[in-house]
Structure 1
Amino acid sequence: MRDDLQDIVDEVSRLLGAPATLEDPDFTLLAFCAQGEGALTGLDAVRTRSILTRGSPAATRRWFTDFGIDRATAPLRTPADPAAGILTRLCLPVRHRGRLHGWLWLLDEGRTDLDAADPPGLAAAVALADRAGALLATRPAAGDPSADLAAALAGDDTAAGRLGAALGARTPVALVALHPADPGLPAGWAAPGAGAVAAVVGDAVAALVPLPHRGDTRPAVALSAAALQRLPAGSTAGVAAARTGCGELRRQWSEASDAARVAAVDPALAPVASWAELGAWRQVVRLDGPDPAFAALLADPVLTRTAEVWLDRAASPQRAAAELVVHRQTLYYRLGRIAELTGLDLSDGGDRLALHLAVRSARLAAAPGRGALGSWAS
């Protein structure tokens, strides 16, 4: 979110040709843009203090709120106060569905004429303020454990420590990754489960579930099943291996996210997959993708499916032919074509392993990606 907010502030600053800051309703600085080389010179004391301290004193906050910025729904201008070292500002309210999430401030020296029919760049800047409001609407309230969970999954060890202290340092926990089939969550959606801590992470949802002991992940599986009932069909969930305390949340998030990915492509594991039951999929999900050497084979869906079924059935021609509903001679012909296209010796265990990894990796790569923490997690 921080990068997205910074991009918005940078673009608003460019559109209106002025230094810009983004603050939340508590006047906490979230992002700023100096707007050009040397633009930090000549700024007023309020903006300088805001950048240096990430906030503003109570007197400054009252000065601005007296102009109605907390009630504003459209751009407005606050006047200068030379005696206090305050320059005139353009204020863009940052709202989402009517709720105030902060303001975008621009030190534009009065250049933007709010009385004009269509001030240059203003409409686009207002649209970006609305975008910032939508992003900030997903931010948990201060003091909410979900804020610590989201921060911990982004690498904040201090937040992980607070979570661990709140749950108990010796409490066994499992982490669940919920991947909705469609982007976004239904209105009013909330993760079920007493005692669980949930946070939106990208297009996924993380849920931290306390366990009775490390060997019993049933509460996490039950939460996953209940949560999926409230999500669109085709959504999946993954459950990480249990840990004691919150010191390995990043690793658990990687495991849970990978398990949810596999659940989306392997019906035998859908819709809730646990890291512990992934088997060979554990190696596949850590690959960057299928080996390019298998491109010719993977371009043929019939031969790719034949290879996967044959390998999944322990290279048994009888079982593979039955599942594919083809004559055994047809299967032998296809296997011959697979050997020709790949140059593999299908009687060799190492070659069969390479082929199996390639076809499974291709299936995973073809599934819709619903990322969080980068591609998934690192």
Structure 2
Amino acid sequence: MRDDLQELVDEVSRVLAAPATLEDATFTLLAFCAHDDSGVDPMDAVRTRSILTRGSAPETRRWFEEFGIASTTRPLRTPADAAAGILTRIVLPVRHDERTHGYLWLLDDGRIDPDDDGDPALARAVELAAEAGRLLADRPAADLGRTLADALTGRPGARAQAERRLADQLSGDGAQVLVALAPAGGRLPLHWRLPAAGAVATVLDDGPVAVLLPLPTATDLRPAGALTAASLRSLPRGSAAGVSAVRSGTGALAGQWREACAAARVAAAVPRYSPVAHWDELGAWRLATELSAPDPALLPLLADPVLTETAEVYLDCAGSAVRAAEALRIHRQTLYYRLGRIAGLTGLDLADGDARLLLHAGLRAARLAGGSRPLRA
């Protein structure tokens, strides 16, 4: 297909007598052509970066999307920005079945009128853009990684379009989960590959791997178990994974991603959930993942590891001195002495329900902050 796209871009460049660049909907470079009848190929910062890096920076995408390129159905001119080194250009939307699959860019130096419906050259270029749309619509699921990234972190317009495209890849009743893989140390091993077929994966800018995994049914989580087990075997020791709640369709992927990242943070920080945590099984830990930091009143306590552990165990035992002392393997009088010191350091009355809730939630937030590499959805 790449040869077909290159021939198509060559033809567009010839017809409109201008350098042409073809990118998919995520601004990944697919093909380009320099029209050099004049001996000069007009270049600007955007075209140079696209050719050299096979893509565009997020801020560049946002700049062009502000002019409505994701929703237009006809040729459109985008303005120049001298300060940013951006030349004016014509964009032909690459569409199929009422969806935008990419963009054909022409550095025409302002010569072409995008509203001239009587221009035969422009009409032919529009036909070629439609043919490119048909080709891109038939791309295999292996090319969907950037689309998944758009669905999770893109702007609203790009996010909705990406969700629709990903929905086309789901089978059965459309049930799926998102999995967050958090490699220890924050980096994937060289040449790491996702050990799963039928899944769509992408590595986001802040490090975690996002995996969209279709399920046979909404109650069959065996594919998620197999994927996380195989993935963690190929990742460094200490890596963790989080699995979102099951959803049907792709309309809530951003929310699922927050769930998966939160579950991975708990798996990395709390031994009883390690190395894989499921959002639906986290209980009150789900609330702790929403806290950015513990209450300042807890800071003096957190400086003492022994008292911090004592407070955690005591509260996990629902305030039972008998059970907490047994779990800590200390005398009950020693426990009472420590509880008195905890109250003194924090100013909290441990007989008060609100104070216990503040302390318990803060201790869990501190554990997540200190026991795992932060994952941000």
RMSD between superposed Cα atoms in Å: 3.5
Say yes or no: does 1:343 pair with 2:342.
no
Decide which of 201, 204, 208 is 1:201's aligned counterpart: 204
Partner of 1:333 in structure 2? 337
Please report how far the alpha carbon of residue 59 of structure 1 lies from its aligned counterpart in structure 2 after TM superposition: 11
Match of 1:75 in 2: none
Partner secondary structure for residue 192 of structure 1: coil
Map residues 228-377 of structure 1 onto 2, 5 A cutoff. Answer: 228-371=232-375, 376-377=376-377
- Mapping for residues 110-189 of structure 1, pairs under 5 Å: 144-155=143-154, 156-168=159-171, 170-189=173-192
The alpha-carbon deviation at position 282 of structure 1 amounts to: 0.6
Deviations 1:88-136 (A, max 9, x none): xxxxxxxxxxxxxxxxxxxxxxxxxxxxxxxxxxxxxxxxxxxxxxxxx
| TM-score, with structure 1 as normaliser | 0.64
- Structure richer in helix, relative to its length: 2
What aligned pairs does 1:82-121 form with structure 2 within 5 A after superposition? none
- Find the aligned partners of 2:250 and 2:303 in 1 and give their Cα distance: 44
> Structure 1 residues 278, 337: closer, same or farther in 2, change over 3 A?
same
The whole-number CA distance in structure 2 between the counterparts of 1:352 and 1:39 is 57
| Structure 1 residues 26 and 170, CA gap change in structure 2 (3 angstroms) | farther
Secondary structure of 1:262's counterpart equals: helix
- Which whole-Å CA distance do the structure 2 matches of 1:163 and 1:142 have between them? 9
Instruction: Quote the residue 1:224 is aligned against.
Output: 228
The one-letter amino acid paired with 1:201 is L
SS of the equivalent of 2:270 reads: coil
Q: Tell me whether 1:30 sits opposite 2:72 in the alignment.
A: no
Any conservation in 1 of the 2:89–2:108 contact (CA below 8 Å)? no
Cα displacement (A) at 1:370: 4.1
Change (3 A) 1:245 1:197: same
Alignment of 1:57-68 (within 5 A): 57=106
Asked if 1:190 corresponds to 2:193, the answer is yes
Aligned length: 272
The letter of the residue matching 1:340 is: G
Query: 1:199 Cα deviation (Å)?
Result: 1.0
Alpha-carbon contact 1:204-1:370 (below 8 Å) kept: no
Local SS of the residue matching 1:199: strand
**Secondary structure at the counterpart of residue 177 of structure 2:** strand
| Distance change in 2, residues 1:369/1:290 (3 Å) | same
Describe the shift of the 1:231–1:355 C-alpha distance in structure 2 as closer, same or farther (beyond 3 A). same
Going from structure 1 to structure 2, the CA distance change for 1:27 and 1:323 (only over 3 Å counts) comes to: closer
Residue 189 of structure 1 aligns to a residue whose secondary structure is coil
The one-letter amino acid paired with 2:180 is A
Long gaps (5+) in structure 2: 1-42, 61-79, 94-102, 110-138
Shift of residue 52, structure 1, vs aligned partner:
11
SS of residue matched to 1:264: helix
Shift of 1:47: 4.3
The alpha carbon displacement at 1:364 in A equals: 1.0
Alpha-carbon distance in structure 2 between the residues aligned to 1:283 and 1:311: 16
CA distance in 1, matches of 2:140, 2:304: 51
Pick which of 333-342 and 311-320 moved more. 311-320
The answer to whether the 8 Å contact 1:160/1:247 transfers is yes
Q: In the aligned structure 2, how far is the partner of 1:264 from the partner of 1:300?
A: 22
* Distance in 1, Cα, partners of 2:213 & 2:193: 14
Q: Which residue number in structure 1 is paired with residue 82 of structure 2? A: 40
Query: Residues 240 and 252 of structure 1 are in contact (CA less than 8 Å); yes or no, is this contact kept in structure 2?
Result: yes
- Contact persistence 2:146–2:202 (CA under 8 A): yes
Kindly state the Cα deviation for residue 170 of structure 1 after the two structures are TM-superposed.
Answer: 3.9
Kept in 2: contact 1:29–1:55 (CA 8 A): no
| 2:179–2:244 Cα contact (<8 Å) kept | yes
Counterpart contact for 2:87–2:107, Cα < 8 Å: no
CA contact (8 A) 2:215 2:223 kept: yes
Partners of 1:242 and 1:142 lie apart in 2 by 21
* Cα deviations by residue, 1:143-166 (Å, 9 ceiling, x for unpaired): 712121111111311011001022
Letter in 1 for 2:329: V
Note if contact 2:242-2:263 (Cα within 8 Å) is conserved in structure 1.
yes
Q: Aligned partners of 2:201 and 2:108: how far apart in 1? A: 37
Residue in 2 that maps onto 1:4: none
Aligned with 2:178: secondary structure?
strand
Q: TM-score, normalised by structure 2?
A: 0.64
Q: Which residue in 1 is equivalent to 2:71?
A: none
Assess, with a 3 A threshold, how the Cα gap between structure 1 residues 284 and 59 changes in structure 2: closer, same or farther.
closer
Asked whether the equivalents of residues 202 and 210 of structure 2 are also in contact (C-alpha less than 8 Å), the reply is yes
What displacement does 1:368 show?
3.9
8 Å Cα contact 1:29-1:50 kept in structure 2 = no
Deviation digits for residues 254-312 of structure 1, max 9, x if unmatched? 00000000011110000000000101101000012101122222222211111001111
Distance 1:23 1:369, change over 3 A: same
Q: Identity over aligned residues, as a percent?
A: 51
Runs of 4+, deviation exceeding 4 Å: 26-29, 50-60, 140-143
Report the alpha carbon displacement of residue 23 of structure 1 after superposing the two structures with TM: 3.3
